[in-house]
Structure 1
Amino acid sequence: MMRAILLLACSAALALPGAAIAQANDYEQAVELRRTDPAAAAALLERWLDAHPGDTDALVQYGYALLTLGQLAEAEQAFAAALAIAPGYTDASEGIALIAARRADRQETRRGFALVEGALSDLGSGQRDWHELGAVIGAPVGLLGTLEGQVRWFDRFGAEDVELGALYTHKAGENLWLRAGASATPSADFRPEIGLAAGLDYRLAPSSVATLDVSWQRFPAQDVVSLRPGFTQYFGGGRYALGVFGRAVFVDGDALVGGSVRADWLPADRTRAFVGVASGPETDLGEVRDTTSLYGGGEVPLSATVSLLGSLSREWRATGADRTEARLGVKLAF
């Protein structure tokens, strides 16, 4: 009897170190595989975390493996779990910031798409006939660029213009995007006869993006130069964004300035809700006028490739009628 007990005790003593070594090997192998085979690393870390749910190092390694696989929501949960246990864990905080940058990139990435959009307006003082209809198509150009072409029809109090435009965007570096565009309106009544534009986005930090756009437009009544700097900060792993933008318009030797603030909620790819306020110069009628506006809208996916876009805005003008606009569009991704 005593001999049997001793044998069982010895077997248990030998088995426990073997199990511990096997588990330790899971973690060590996962760390080695995380960059070369993230799927295998994630599987090993899942097994390790089943036995060690409070291991913050393993949670962070698991988060980075999932981030490499593009599973942003799951990676965010792993980093958040590590921070809940160790709020000062720098690698976990950096992981959250990287997720915000990745989500920002997804929102900015222009895949192939086609968009048809229309707008109807209701103006004060009994004025009508303010409508728009447009179509935009964009496609990748090489590995780092996209090209968009657009045609838009505008109706303003019985005068109609058709404006044609193109925009090229190029990813010039890991944190830098450049764009250039041009437009023309044959026989223009109030839209720019010709226009040129250039701009850039620069990521200052994983969740902070600075923008700058400059344009020149020759309207039938005047030439207009516009400068629009901006800054966007992403929060909550990229699920929320707050943008602040300025605008300076130079016309006939005068400079008019304004600005806007916009807040976005980005719960998933191709899903967005936004609200904003803007005040300053605008050129909807072919001449510069001070305008204040409140607006909101969003994008909702209807299927894997089709999204519905909509917005509603209210504008108050220093001169001319106030305006309420409803805008609706359908976007097809490919």
Structure 2
Amino acid sequence: MTISGFLLSAALVLQAPTYETGVDARLDGRFEEAAEILAEVAQREPANADVFLQLGLTLSALGRFDEAEAALQRTLDLAPDYTDAHIALARLAYYRGDLDRAAELAAALPDDQTPPDLRARIDAARESPARSPWRTDVFAAYSSLSGPLSPWREAGVALGRRIDEETSLTGLAHWSRRFDDEDVYLSLTYARGLPDSGLAYVTLGGAPQADFRAQAAIRGGYESPTAPGGDGVQATVEASASRYGVGDVFAVQPGVRYLARSDGLRLGLRAMIYLDETRALQTGWEVSGELRASDRARLIASYTDAPDTESGRTSEVQSAALGLRYQLTDRLGLQAGLVHESREAYDRTEITISANRRF
């Protein structure tokens, strides 16, 4: 090698990011920068377990959990007894909500090497009412209509079961009485959390011998993941197909939510696009908000200007809603709501009361 070539190689080595600069960036909270540096160092030093540990910790802080797990597993491939890597994997499982695996990993650690807060946090989360496998909801509603029209009445019950950390099933029976006609709508919803990829769900339902509700319907949707901590913007989309006595109705509803969990704020905007029973295209929109009023109370409000199909025919409706959700205990919650609708033929005002119980 020539002297100039040697000097150039030495200069490149001196300019290359180092393990120490990557660790410093992580400790300073500059996680994106740290991830880039440590990934480059890992390529140069593929047998350095410390580099992969620090890379895994950095990726975990960024919410890139799959990549973080791969880096931590690589650490253990190189150093199977590396306690910090085992602890990091247990914390990662906790962050992902896989509490059973987190508990299993934490239990395998020696007592004198386990952070005292780790097992306590995992145990508290596993005992939380939110992890109760069953949930039941009951609701009732009464609507007064303008003019001489008779009131509407509704009642229903839902029963949900969490199958595992990511999957749940919910059944619903909903009785409605409108204009002297009665329907009972039955549905089953399957929801599945996708690791690092959000939530997907599908609902099948229908009203046997329907007078005004859908005879058969299928609905599916997706909610994108949020950043670690639950803050930020979330995209949503829902599509449905329903068969009524007067024809088929198809709908697509894309939306976006802004979540600021630390401030107890949630805002939503949703577009509604319908192909109605006459094959006419109709559109609408909805804006909604939720605000934490106290540790146990939340205020809910929405305004909608969109087609409505639940009465058997698609019609334009403008509605405003206000509600209060109150958590009486960790397992019991109540909600009350008031809705006012303006339709072409009449106005409707609805009062709704509901309760939910986890067990």
- The TM-score normalised by the length of structure 1 is 0.66
* Aligned equivalents of 2:310, 2:90: Cα separation in 1: 54
Task: Name the structure 2 match of 1:48.
Answer: none
Task: Tell me the residue number matched to 1:231.
Answer: 256
Question: In the alignment, which residue of structure 1 is the partner of 2:287?
Answer: 261
One-letter code aligned to 1:170: R
Cα shift at 1:267: 5.5
Partner Cα separation in structure 2 for residue 285 and residue 170 of structure 1: 30
Flag structure 2 segments of 5+ consecutive residues without an equivalent: 1-56, 58-82, 92-116, 123-127
Pick the aligned partner of 1:140 from 148, 158, 162.
162
Deviations 1:190-248 (A, max 9, x none): 00000011110002644221110000000111210011111110126251011001101
Equivalents in 2 of 1:302, 1:249: separation in Å?
39
1:279 to 305, 327, 336: 305
Pick one of 172, 179, 190 that aligns with 2:201: 179
Q: Deviations over 1:265-308 (max 9, x none)?
A: 13577642111110010013111000001101021122231111
What amino acid maps onto 2:320 in structure 1?
Answer: L
> Does the 8 Å contact 1:204/1:210 carry over to 2?
no
Q: How far is 1:173 from its partner?
A: 2.0
Task: Say whether residues 1:210 and 2:235 are aligned partners.
Answer: yes
- The answer on whether the counterparts of 2:300 and 2:325 sit within 8 Å (CA) in structure 1 is no
More strand per residue: 1 or 2? Answer: 1
Counterparts of 2:334 and 2:326 in 1: how far apart (Å)? 5
User: Aligned runs of 1:101-112 on 2, under 5 Å?
Assistant: 112=134
| Letter matched to residue 245 of structure 2 | P
Q: 1:309 aligned to 2:332?
A: no
Structure 1 residues 173 and 155, CA gap change in structure 2 (3 angstroms): same
Change (3 A) 1:254 1:37: closer
Structure 1 residues 36 and 181: alpha-carbon distance in aligned structure 2, compared to 1, 3 A threshold: closer
CA distance in 2, matches of 1:290, 1:269: 38
Please give the secondary structure, in 2, of the residue aligned with 1:203. coil
CA-atom RMSD, angstroms?
3.1
Give the partner amino acid of 1:192. A
Secondary structure of the residue aligned to 2:262 is helix
Task: Give distance in 2, aligned partners of 1:273 and 1:137.
Answer: 25
Return the offset for 1:110: 9.3
Q: Which residue of 2 aligns with 1:119?
A: 141
Conserved? CA contact 1:270–1:307, under 8 Å: no
CA distance in 2, matches of 1:232, 1:109: 25
TM-score under structure 2 length normalisation:
0.62
Q: Within the alignment, does 1:326 sit opposite 2:316 as a pair?
A: no
Mapped partners of 2:279, 2:132: distance in 1: 37
Deviations 1:69-104 (A, max 9, x none): 49xxxxxxxxxxxxxxxxxxxxxxxxxxxxxxxxxx
Identity of aligned residues (%): 23
Question: Is 1:293 aligned with 2:319?
Answer: yes
Counterpart CA distance in 1 for 2:329 and 2:164 is 27
The unaligned stretches of length 5 or more in structure 1 are 1-30, 39-64, 71-105
> Which residue of the partner structure matches residue 190 of structure 2?
168
Letter of the 1:284 partner, please give it. Answer: E
Q: Distance in 1 between matches of 2:271 and 2:295?
A: 28
Range that drifts further, 267-276 or 127-136:
267-276
Residues 235-250 of structure 1: pairs in structure 2 closer than 5 A: 235=260, 237=262, 239-250=264-275
Once the 2 structures are TM-superposed, how far is the Cα of residue 129 of structure 1 from its aligned partner?
3.0
* Equivalent position amino acid for 1:306 in 2: L
* Amino acid aligned to 2:222: L
In 2: Cα distance, 1:225 partner to 1:110 partner: 36
Match of 1:198 in 2: 220
Q: Report deviation, 1:175.
A: 3.3
Partner of 1:154: 176
Contact 2:296 2:328 in 1 (8 A): no
- What is the total number of aligned residue pairs between the two structures? 243
Q: CA deviation at 1:35?
A: 5.4
